[in-house]
Structure 1
Amino acid sequence: MTLWPGLAADAAAQACPAGWPQWDAFARRHVQADGRVVDFSVPEQQSTSESQSYGMFFALAANDRARFAAIWRWSRDNLGAGSDKLPAWQWGRREGGSFGVIDPNAASDADLWFAYALLEAARLWQMPDYLKAGMALLGQVKAQEVRVMGDLGPMLLPGPVGFEAGRERWRLNPSYLPLPLLRRFAAVDPSGPWTAMVQGAARLATQSAPQGFAPDWVIYDAGKGFQPDSERSVLGSYDAIRVYLWAGVTNDGDPLVAAVRNALAPMTRAVVSYAAPPEKINTVTGAPEGRGPIGFSAALLPWLKATGAADALAAQEALVREKWQTWSRAAHPAGAAGDGEFNYYNSVLSLFGWGWLQGQYRFDAAGQVTPAWACAA
């Protein structure tokens, strides 16, 4: 078996895996035949731009071309992705019972994942139509969701509407900016804001965490720098867990990732102390609250691997594996009571985190993805 490029050929290195049962289970439960990715854990039975874009990335990693095409087609036709506007972030059951767009505002993290999945599908599958669509969507992001924010430079708003927090003040979400995606955009669009945004994203991750814990939301003030978002929340929880996830899956050769990992090192110590990731952390005081769901444990697997926390990694992986084996032995038809522990969001975090540890995909230092099906090529 060929080992992943860039990984030491030791017992910890992952060989190219055969199949991806977690994706197969997720697709059976959440991906309709027409390409709609459904979150059954909420009353709206919603589909979001996040769910659609993540679904495309997982389908690419699984070499599931038919589902990739269906998910993109549904997103384009129902959310508006690929037209002259950004995709609506929320679609589902509206008041009155009909289904359609609930909130037309866009979510910029999903827009980045849409564009990335399309660009990488074009490269890996040699499909120029996906390249055209990905570049067009990237152009919409630049036009509508990027602002120059003082010394921070060009930065990604969480969406085109609703994130101005006053004069020269903006509300930001650190989990919206995975370094591998920005690296890839910088390569395909060298005249765009992406190279500068990589630097800004690293500053956002390192400077918005005064106690070493990433917040869900933060204010950037052009005159004062990063400030706690006391109006919305000072917690780090269901959004912020992805900051550690993205830092974990980023290639070690990225020159900025070490600083991010060092700045957020207290999360590793928290996992060791509590034998699980906290569900919520007050990022101003550092006080934890509650035990995170199984998806948090899965999301932190790449982080624990990257930071050398071998014992914590083994414990959290064993927990994820045990929970998955117990869950998978039961019947889980689509829409069954929100799918329990492996609901939509926990499953997504598991696909990203546990999938990476299993070797289902890797990013290189330039942001290109190598899926398992291509790793031996």
Structure 2
Amino acid sequence: MRPGPSRLARWLVAGACALTPLVSADVAQAAAPAPTSAGEGAGSRAAANPGACTWADWNAFKHNLLSADGRVIDASTPRQITVSEGQSYALFFALVANDRAAFDTILQWTENNLAQGDLTAHLPAWIWGRTDIDEKGAPVAASGASAASAAPASKGTWGVIDSNSASDADLWIAYTLLEAGRLWNERRYTALGTVMARNIVRSETATLPGLGRTVLPGPQGFKLDKDSWRLNPSYVPLQVMRRFALALPEASEWKALLDSSTKLVNDTAPHGFSPDWVVYSVKSGGKNGFGPDAPTHAESAYNAIRVYLWAGMLAFDDPLRAQTLATFSPLSAFVAAHGFPPERVDTQTGTPGPSEGNGGFSAAVAPYLSALGRTDLADAQVERSRTLAQKSPPGYYSSVLMLFGLGYLQGLYHFDAQGRVAPAWTARCPAPR
């Protein structure tokens, strides 16, 4: 039996229709939908299916951040980018909401625009957006043209900015397709998820001496030299990895990936805070192991916040739950003492920076605090997240952290010990316990 939602989470469910949306309509209006190869879809702004549980935050997310043709837009950037991570999360939320129309629209846009029209053959490019300007909004010359003759910024050209794929997004897409196939009894989703999983193993993993087969953040750029690799603990949610290990024919490979992911999550936080990035090195005549990532100063920040989120959502009877929760106990001590999660931490000393984490950070740590039995701390972080959202509408990343964390505490979904997602709608949307 998994722990039920806390007192405040029950109140949030009861008053879901009255909750302030995660983001304001002004954000979406600032991000006019770009022309895409997929064209305008069937209307992802439409209401969820009649059989879906009411999820006000998902409806607000669709209204404010999801274009009609299925693109999650980060309007805070001049290029109004879309990242494969955002598409993967939106697919998961659509499944949790039993929103088949949105799911299909998001999947179609992702395949047509990030995967060259075929997810069976290509893992999705990680970033898409305006290609006629750079990340600061300055004009960029077209191939073979001078900057002065580039396409006018007011018109805009759109497409893939970087074709390298991102394994965190690919894992979530493949996982969600497998779960959608199971829950909606749709074989084509299962088939596509299986093929994607095989492509992930082929393109985004490597066998590291002393660690075994390991998920790399992407196909290119993460093998630093012949003896070292750059890895990301937040890319490998253990429940997702377990599901692959139990569901796919290539179980032995995925079991090895689950084992290395467990070490990546639990063996890289010497002071109880997960790093955004870490380096794994093979030392001649010495001990192989993890070390700090110099470019990011071994910092725990906007990547690592997801590690605590995934840990807090492990099933009550998941064999890795107790070990993983214990790894990050200093985080709960910090929140108890200060009332908020830190925005940044030096993982080599355990010293937090001066800044408070935003409302998305609070939503992300709330399931972890609840899993520790600290429902008082979890309730306070839920309330802090909602209060900050009312004062200043959160952007794309904070919004997805809130959908994950608050949706989980609202009882809209959970994961079982086999890594399967169990949305509330599969039990006819029961009242929270």
TM-score by length of 2: 0.80
1:311-357 CA-partner distances (Å, limit 9, x unpaired): 21121122123334x35xxxxxxxxxxxx541100100000001100
Unaligned runs of 5+ in 2: 15-52, 133-139, 141-155
Letter in 2 for 1:365: A
Moved more, 53-62 or 178-187: 178-187
Deviation, structure 1 residue 14: 6.1
Distance 1:196 1:13, change over 3 A: farther
Tell me the distance in 2 between the aligned counterparts of 1:12 and 1:154. 42
Deviation, structure 1 residue 286: 1.1
Residue pair 1:7, 1:13 contacting (<8 A) in 2 also: no
The match for 1:204 is 264
The match for 1:362 is 414
Residue pair 2:3, 2:371 contacting (<8 A) in 1 also: no
Moved more, 137-146 or 193-202: 193-202
1:75-120 CA-partner distances (Å, limit 9, x unpaired): 0000006141211000001135311000000000000000011111
| Residue of 102, 109, 112 corresponding to 2:171 | 112
The match for 2:220 is 161
The match for 2:161 is 102
Deviation, structure 1 residue 12: 8.7
Residue pair 1:293, 1:341 contacting (<8 A) in 2 also: no
TM-score by length of 1: 0.91
* Larger radius of gyration between Structure 1 and Structure 2: 2
Distance 1:167 1:67, change over 3 A: same
Q: How much is the aligned-residue C-alpha RMSD, in angstroms? A: 1.9
Tell me the distance in 2 between the aligned counterparts of 1:77 and 1:35. 11
Tell me the distance in 2 between the aligned counterparts of 1:83 and 1:227. 36
Deviation, structure 1 residue 6: 3.6
1:182-227 CA-partner distances (Å, limit 9, x unpaired): 1111122142421122221111112111111100000011333000
Tell me the distance in 1 between the aligned counterparts of 2:202 and 2:341. 37
The match for 2:91 is 56
Does 1:24 pair with 2:83?
no
Does 1:89 pair with 2:164?
no
Deviation, structure 1 residue 134: 0.6
Residue pair 1:49, 1:75 contacting (<8 A) in 2 also: yes
Residue pair 1:302, 1:357 contacting (<8 A) in 2 also: yes
Tell me the distance in 1 between the aligned counterparts of 2:10 and 2:162. 41
Distance 1:166 1:291, change over 3 A: same
Tell me the distance in 2 between the aligned counterparts of 1:92 and 1:254. 39
Tell me the distance in 1 between the aligned counterparts of 2:357 and 2:69. 33
Moved more, 32-41 or 224-233: 224-233
Residue pair 2:9, 2:410 contacting (<8 A) in 1 also: no
Unaligned runs of 5+ in 1: 328-339
Task: Work out the number of aligned pairs and report it.
Answer: 360
Moved more, 202-211 or 153-162: 202-211
Does 1:284 pair with 2:319?
no
Deviation, structure 1 residue 307: 1.2
Residue pair 1:362, 1:371 contacting (<8 A) in 2 also: yes
Tell me the distance in 1 between the aligned counterparts of 2:187 and 2:281. 41
The match for 2:235 is 176
Query: In structure 1, the residue corresponding to 2:68 is in which secondary structure?
Result: coil
Tell me the distance in 2 between the aligned counterparts of 1:274 and 1:46. 35
Distance 1:38 1:11, change over 3 A: closer
Does 1:315 pair with 2:350?
no
Letter in 1 for 2:259: Q
Tell me the distance in 2 between the aligned counterparts of 1:106 and 1:174. 17
1:19-73 CA-partner distances (Å, limit 9, x unpaired): 1100000010111111111111111101110010100000000011000000000
Q: Percent identity?
A: 45
The match for 1:213 is 273
Tell me the distance in 2 between the aligned counterparts of 1:8 and 1:293. 25
Query: In structure 1, the residue corresponding to 2:344 is in which secondary structure?
Result: strand
Query: In structure 1, the residue corresponding to 2:343 is in which secondary structure?
Result: strand
Does 1:121 pair with 2:180?
yes
